[in-house]
Amino acid sequence: MTAQSFSIKGNLVDVFNKEIYLAEIKVLNGKIDSITRMPVTDISTEANYILPGFVDSHVHIESSMLVPTEFAKIAVTHGTVATVSDPHEIANVCGMEGVEFMIENGKQVNFKFNFGAPSCVPATIFETAGASLDSVQVHQLLEKPEIKYLSEMMNFPGVLFNDEEVMKKIASAHALGKPVDGHAPGLRGDAAKQYIDAGISTDHECFTREEALDKLGFGMKIIIREGSAAKNFEALIDLLNDYPDKIMFCSDDKHPDSLVEGHVNQLCARAVAKGINVFKVLQAASINPVEHYKLDVGLLKVGDIADFVVAEDLIDFKIKQTYINGELVAESGLSFIKTKECTPINQFDCDEILASQLEISSTDYPTKDSNIPVIEALEGQLITNKLMLGSTLLNGKLISNTATDVLKMVVVNRYHNATVAIAFIKNFNLKQGAIASSVAHDSHNIVAVGVDDASLAAAINLVIKEKGGVSAVSSNKELVLGLPVAGLMSTGDGYEVAKTYTAIDAFVKEELGSTLAAPFMTLSFMALLVIPHLKLSDKGLFDGDKFSFI
């Protein structure tokens, strides 16, 4: 069987006409040459199901800790044939060079990466990033055929107040006929309407049904997100019943261990289990993103590129085969995409730190009635709460308290030596040791949480030695996964990276005591200033509602 010419039989799932019938599909030169209905009166109960390939409608490949080629290797085993990929993370570290790296690396394999032009680099002026992209550079990116859209416009205040640079970026996308992705968590009413009227067409940040309905009412399309940390599927999935042409699926940020387990196919299974019509589910998983972003992805029609999958059933969506451009790229869980050599690019220039640099006096931290502001991390959400809780002092220094689960959190500037930013956080539930990561949206400085300064310094220094990575330490054990590509991605085999990450994740939960489902993914968002309510950047504690430092 080759990409040039072959035929395949099975129950064809025709999403456009909402019917399923036994058919023979002939593929010639990577395209569907013909679809012939087989002469039977009933659908075969034994045949497999042939359906359009899945599309992740918004994902940061970098968050998988894998370069694009390795992400593709795993994703195809779950029936994913394409992604709408925002290279925002590497752009904040390496600028234009980072975006070019993602494009060129992705071209090495038979998978359909559709990259966007990052709209917010740096994301804010309240943190230190490694690069910046102005409106001229964004326009240059948008002119590239590989760039399909303007990536999430996180600077929604800039839209509302007609910031000149922001509006130039949006205008460039419109002039070139490319859609603009949104990012406006919690934005409602007149402000949401103004944001959408600026020509912003999607949002993947809705975390309540009411917010999504508000934005749908103003003409926006909603992308339901279910990633390793942010999980909005349960709150939003019922919208698919009434808005099948306005809903898409995405993971946004997905760590390697959960990518090995499944991808968009998992969301299809969960949606069908809730009684949602399978044609509506597949419309969200394939048709809608292809049509919205004008992707060069086939949708199982005569003349289309042969991008499709073969599933055992339409319940669990276990994928037997995945075809891209008429080529079999995965079968029965085995990927035929091979690991490619990769030369890392990076920006990492800070010295190892001392535990004494992490000390903080009670007089140097904001207090109110003997209480201190504490970040409350929330399971399955990117938003955090601002709590005012009692502090713990030792020799005039503020320290972690495992009994109350108020732990020290720090952010270390990775781009040059600088004063360490310090705050306190709740819900990591570490009982010993510390964890650290250079995957810290959006500027990707080093973020860490720990129970004592010595452990924090040890975890941070492991990351610094690797020029990027994730680490965890206890009193007698140290683990680290090096991420030499921009401090975000490994150059190794995707399955091996997933195995190493799984071991570190288990260590954090079983030995250090964290009760979070995805402690490292949650940690990576604790410096994300554009998501309310309280976060920590390398420059200090930040109020996301007032958009100012505390």
Local structure of residue 285 (DSSP, 8 states): I
pTM: 0.94
**Residue carrying structure tokens 């370069």:** 67
The answer to whether the beta carbons of residues 33 and 8 sit under 8 Å apart is: no
Asked if residue 296 has pLDDT above 50, the reply is yes
Q: What does DSSP say about strands 80-85 and 327-331: parallel, antiparallel, or unpaired?
A: unpaired
In 3D, which of 496, 59, 476 has the Cα closest to residue 257?
496
Band of residue 39 on the pLDDT scale cut at 50, 70, 90: confident
The answer to whether the beta carbons of residues 311 and 79 sit under 8 Å apart is: yes
Structure tokens given for 286: 């394939």
Band of residue 42 on the pLDDT scale cut at 50, 70, 90: low
Q: What pLDDT score does 508 carry?
A: 98
Residue 82 to residues 61, 232, 482, 503, 526, Cα–Cα distance (Å): 12, 22, 27, 29, 29
The answer to whether the beta carbons of residues 255 and 228 sit under 8 Å apart is: yes
Tell the burial category of 381 from Cβ atoms under 10 Å away from its Cβ (0-12, 13-18, 19+): middle
Q: Which CATH architecture has domain 54-289?
A: Alpha-Beta Barrel (3.20)
**Residue carrying structure tokens 């975890």:** 459
Where helices occur in 411-493 by DSSP H, the ranges are 453-465
Q: What pLDDT score does 369 carry?
A: 78
For 6-41, the three-class secondary structure string (H helix, E strand, C coil) is EEEEEEEEECCCCEEEEEEEEEECCEEEEEEECCCC
Question: Domain spans of the chain?
Answer: 54-289, 355-549
- Pairwise CA distance, residues 136 & 95, whole Å: 13
Bridge partner residues of 85 (DSSP)? 59, 115
Within 10 angstroms of residue 271's Cβ, the number of other Cβ atoms is 26
Asked if residue 28 has pLDDT above 70, the reply is yes
Share of the chain above pLDDT 70, in %: 98
Q: What pLDDT score does 2 carry?
A: 47
- pLDDT digit string (tens) for 409-462? 999 999 999 999 999 999 999 999 999 999 999 899 999 999 999 999 999 999
- pLDDT digit string (tens) for 355-383? 999 999 988 898 887 899 999 999 878 89
Where helices occur in 107-243 by DSSP H, the ranges are 135-142, 156-160, 164-175, 189-197, 209-217, 233-236, 239-242
The answer to whether the beta carbons of residues 245 and 288 sit under 8 Å apart is: yes
**Once rounded to an integer, what is the mean pLDDT over residues 208-217?**
96
Within 10 angstroms of residue 70's Cβ, the number of other Cβ atoms is 31
**Once rounded to an integer, what is the mean pLDDT over residues 497-503?**
97
Structure tokens given for 335: 């990927």
Q: What pLDDT score does 380 carry?
A: 79
Angle, helix 68-75 to helix 494-510, in steps of 10 degrees: 80
- Pairwise CA distance, residues 78 & 351, whole Å: 41
The answer to whether the beta carbons of residues 86 and 151 sit under 8 Å apart is: yes
**Once rounded to an integer, what is the mean pLDDT over residues 307-333?**
97
Share of the chain above pLDDT 90, in %: 91
Rounded to 5 degrees, what are φ and ψ at 547? 50, 55
